[in-house]
Chain A
Amino acid sequence: MFAYIVRRLLYAIPILIGVNLLTFTLFFVVNSPDDMAVSQLGEKYVTPEAIAAWKKKNGYDKPLFVNAEGAGLAAVTDTIFFTKSLKLFAFDFGRSESGRDITTDVSTRMWPSLAVALPTFIVGIWVNICVALLVVMFHATRLDRWAVFVFVCLMSISYLFYIIGGQYLVAKTWKLVPISGFHADAQAWKFLILPVLVGVVAGIGSGARWYRTLFLEEANQDYVRTARAKGASEIGILFTHILPNALIPILTGVVVLIPSLFMGSLLIESFFGIPGLGSYMLDAIKSQDFAIVRSMVFIGSILYIVGLILTDISYTWADPRVRLN
């Protein structure tokens, strides 16, 4: 298993290089370093000298991928791509184009993201499982079919409507919670109720439907018949046989998401004014702040890869049949 993890981590390096190459290409096809300087310097009194100074200060005064003037290895190393990527691999994200330290920003904004994403994730899974179990209890009645229909309806509503509706009703009309904002203090939960609620409700449709399918799939397995032949009650079977088995695909399906929780949710964060990484990313895209975009892509890729590895590990943990090699 250790060897397996090490191998997966080594495999991550070419992937990250590829990711970086793609990010750089995409970004610099659109923008030249000059464009970046102009966007950062504002609208008034932008002189070529100011642009040159900005590029020098921020390290964009080099060729992108190949330095024709550089001798030998310098042809590749003395480039924007190499210098900027190398720093990323050392987890040195540097400063954003507007001059703020990205590491500090990321490490402070990570927590609000997590504060929303983690409860949404956990409560979401819990609620979905409960609802799915309830529906499985209805199984083979007309209610079951209606429940599935309702799930599909819930799935068919755009996330935006959940957010808009939630804010309009709960915060604006009923005045139960603040409409947006976040404070990292004892009363932080007050701000989290609504985003978590919206996140959970929006996820019920697809989540509960998926879990229901998993439960029913397990319910058709031979060992369930065995358990019934033993004389176990329906509820007993549900909890001692079906649930643990259905948890395998559930767990492994969601484990890949856990690291990405740090990245937060783009929409929820921007609608609810939560200063997390999701809105950080959105702002960076909007203001075309390449340093942040580059770093976030890098972090996102790493988290994704970690998620994949965790998934594999969680398989071995949840399912005694699986061994890694």
Chain B
Amino acid sequence: MSGHVSMKVTDLRVAVAEDGEAILEGVSFELHPGKIFALVGESGSGKSVTSLAAMRLLPEALAITGGAVSVGEEDLFDLSESQMQRVRGRRVAMIFQNAMSALNPVQTAGQQVAETLRLHTSLSGDALRQRVVQLFAEVGIPDPEDRFSFYPHQLSGGQQQRVMIAMALACEPEILIADEPTTALDVTIQEQVLDLIRELTESRKLAVLLITHDMGVVRNTADEVAVMYRGEIIERAPVDDFFHNPQQAYSRRLIDALPDLSRFQSIAVEEPLLRLDEVKVYFPIRRGVLQRVVDHTRAVDGVSLSIGKGETYALVGESGSGKSTLGRAILNLDEMAGGQIRFHGEPLQDLTRRQMLPYRKRIQVIFQNPYSSMNPRLTVGEIIAEGMVSLGLGLNAAEREERIGQLLQRVQLEGDFSQRYPHEFSGGQLQRIAIARALAVEPELIICDEPTSALDVSIRAEVLELLQELQREFGVSYLFITHDLSIVPSLAHHVGVMQLGKIVEQGTAEQILTAPRHPYTRALLASVPRVDP
């Protein structure tokens, strides 16, 4: 890696303005034209702060305490704010994580791109518009003429991110900083956006700083990679070297979290526990003066599946495919429009609240967001005890206390945590508590609704590990709802792929992952990053 350096960051230091607590402790790297430099790390490692500091866009609570960022001859930190405005967008551009919120909701997509041009060029009127349309076409937005006057909310997630990219590239900057550009996107679209960035890097000789937490993205996109950990770059290497020979244990862990598509769960038993037949969940659409129901949103549109005892069934699909609604329907939290759910052969649908009670004990749930699934005003002990009390497990207070201690230890937490409150725990710990809560009533089936999607990769693995252990120990079945195919191989016995309320393909994990038949499954699979294909 030699030659021209587009941007050089030297010993960048950032601290909290109020108490001087260091956030970045001397970060240095260089960006080269036509190359993508990836900065990887888990949340809180300081990778976003690095990018914002380089652009001098830090929030007021943080202050740059040292270092230099030079672009060409200029040190950006020596410029006045008004001079800096001439650098931003023209020489250094930036795209952000969540395009929906990063775009101004009350301006049309075209106007926002045009603004960049207006700020840095003398284009105006029709010429300006033409240029914007041209840019839209370049970043692959269909019907660029029409899309000019679309508001951000009228565009799909991928298109929004493309508008962001168009905006960033409008003035042909030398450097592009992309801060988690694909995180909020569905996997299939994620791939397309990354392709676009790669392509533009090549064609425009851009120097790109790509910030991400996703090792798969790094593997597929970057030329060089640096791992950040607690405000420092702990390892820096060309991509191939890095993946084949990581120097640091931490880097190793990150790489290990990538899926291994060669080992699958063997199918164990075939004793059906839960059977779904043509389950439908509709939500009414009301219109008109009298709010009559004119149509239905078919959230779940005829799903049939079966889960055996001690088995894990992974339900995979992108957001909005109806997979979570299905979970709620099984729990009798949403009303069904048709079909049958049988648990041990007994129908669950149309049961009243009271009739449902005996089954509550046997079917439990773990939610996606560990923070909102615990009442912040109750102690962990109280949270775990809730089910035991209301489902009448017949334990007295002391017995409950003892059981809570055991459960906490079982999920690898300390028994005396029961007196503490949810906000004192990390996400991973909370998810363990959620597991303990579900286990407390000794269920036969646990519906896991994206239990790991809010967790960092290194913790994710631990939680999945725990779930598997528990399955082996208690013979409990899981319905595992996820959007992330990469966690499936190590976990699931059966997989169902859901799209628009329907299961488009199901079978054993091995079948689906190695020999997908449905194009949608294939698309999903293609976007899963692998270390060694």
Contact = CB atoms under 8 A, between A and B. Distances in A.
A contacts B directly (C-beta below 8 A): yes
B416 interface: no
A321 interface: yes
A2 to B, nearest CB: 9
A221 B153 CA distance: 16
A230 interface: yes
A228 B116 contact: no
A222 B89 contact: no
Which of A228, A229, A240, A320 is packed against the most chain B CB atoms within 10 Å?
A229
B115 A232 contact: yes
A187 interface: no
A217 interface: no
A226 B96 contact: yes
Given A223-B105, A225-B102, A229-B57, A325 B287 contact: yes
Given A222-B101, A223-B105, A240-B115, A229 B289 contact: no
B106 A248 contact: yes
B134 to A, nearest CB: 18
Interface string A200-224: 0000000000000000000011110
A29 interface: no
Nearest to B104: A223
Contact of B119 (A10, A221, A230): A230
A233 B86 CA distance: 9
Contacts of A222: 96, 98, 101-102
A3 B57 contact: no
Contact of B101 (A7, A223, A234, A240): A223
B363 interface: no
A54 B119 CA distance: 76
Given A7-B289, A7-B291, A229-B55, A140 B60 contact: yes
Contact of B103 (A7, A223, A232): A223
Interface in A265-279: none
A138 to B, nearest CB: 13
Contacts of A3: 287-289
Of the four ranges (under 10, 10 to 19, 20 to 34, 35 or more), the interface on chain A belongs to 20 to 34
A55 to B, nearest CB: 42
A231 B291 contact: no
Given A7-B291, A229-B93, A319 B88 contact: no
B57 A6 contact: no
A320 to B, nearest CB: 4
Contacts of B57: 225, 228-229
Which of A220, A227, A230, A234 is packed against the most chain B CB atoms within 10 Å?
A230
Interface string A286-325: 0000000000000000000000000000000011110001
Which of A226, A234, A236, A321 is packed against the most chain B CB atoms within 10 Å?
A226
Contacts of B362: none
Which of B101, B286, B289 is packed against the most chain A CB atoms within 10 Å?
B289
B85 to A, nearest CB: 5
A40 interface: no
B509 to A, nearest CB: 38
Contacts of A223: 101-105
B397 interface: no
Contacts of A245: 104-106
Contacts of A227: 104, 115
A320 B106 contact: yes
Contacts of B104: 223, 226-227, 241, 244-245
Interface in B176-204: none
Interface string B280-295: 0000001111110000
Contacts of A234: 81
A141 to B, nearest CB: 11
A244 B112 CA distance: 13
A2 B360 CA distance: 46
A230 B289 contact: no
Nearest to B84: A231
A222 B101 CA distance: 6
A236 B93 CA distance: 18
Contacts of A240: 115
Given A223-B104, A227-B104, A320-B153, A233 B82 contact: yes
Interface in A225-261: 225-234, 236, 240-241, 244-245, 248
B94 interface: yes
Given A226-B103, A321-B105, A7 B290 contact: yes
B90 A231 contact: yes
A229 B289 CA distance: 46
B102 A231 contact: no
Contacts of A10: 289
Nearest to A234: B81
Interface string B86-123: 11111001101010011111110000000110011000
Nearest to B291: A7
A236 to B, nearest CB: 8
A230 B115 contact: yes
Interface in A182-213: none
Contacts of B153: 320-321
Contacts of A244: 104, 106-107
B151 interface: yes
B105 A320 contact: yes
Contacts of B88: 228-231
B366 interface: no
Which of B57, B106, B167, B288 is packed against the most chain A CB atoms within 10 Å?
B106
Interface string B258-290: 000000000000000000000000000011111
Which of B60, B119, B120, B154 is packed against the most chain A CB atoms within 10 Å?
B119
Contacts of B106: 244-245, 248, 318-320
A230 B89 contact: yes
B248 to A, nearest CB: 32
A321 B154 CA distance: 8
A320 B151 contact: yes
A232 B55 CA distance: 13
Interface string B452-475: 000000000000000000000000
Contacts of A6: 289
B253 to A, nearest CB: 31
A227 B168 CA distance: 10
A218 to B, nearest CB: 10
Interface in B125-168: 151, 153-154, 164, 167-168
A233 B287 CA distance: 45
A318 B107 CA distance: 11
Contacts of A241: 104, 107
B380 to A, nearest CB: 33
28 contacts: A220-B59, A222-B96, A222-B101, A223-B101, A223-B104, A226-B102, A228-B57, A229-B55, A229-B93, A229-B96, A229-B168, A230-B93, A231-B85, A231-B86, A231-B87, A231-B89, A231-B90, A231-B116, A241-B104, A244-B107, A245-B104, A319-B105, A320-B105, A320-B106, A320-B151, A320-B153, A320-B154, A321-B153
Interface of B: 55, 57, 59-60, 81-82, 85-90, 93-94, 96, 98, 101-107, 115-116, 119-120, 151, 153-154, 164, 167-168, 286-291
Given A244-B104, A320-B151, 9 more contacts: A7-B290, A221-B101, A223-B102, A225-B96, A226-B96, A226-B102, A229-B96, A234-B81, A245-B104
10 shortest interchain CB distances as A-B pairs = A231-B89, A231-B88, A230-B89, A222-B101, A229-B94, A223-B104, A320-B151, A222-B102, A230-B116, A226-B102
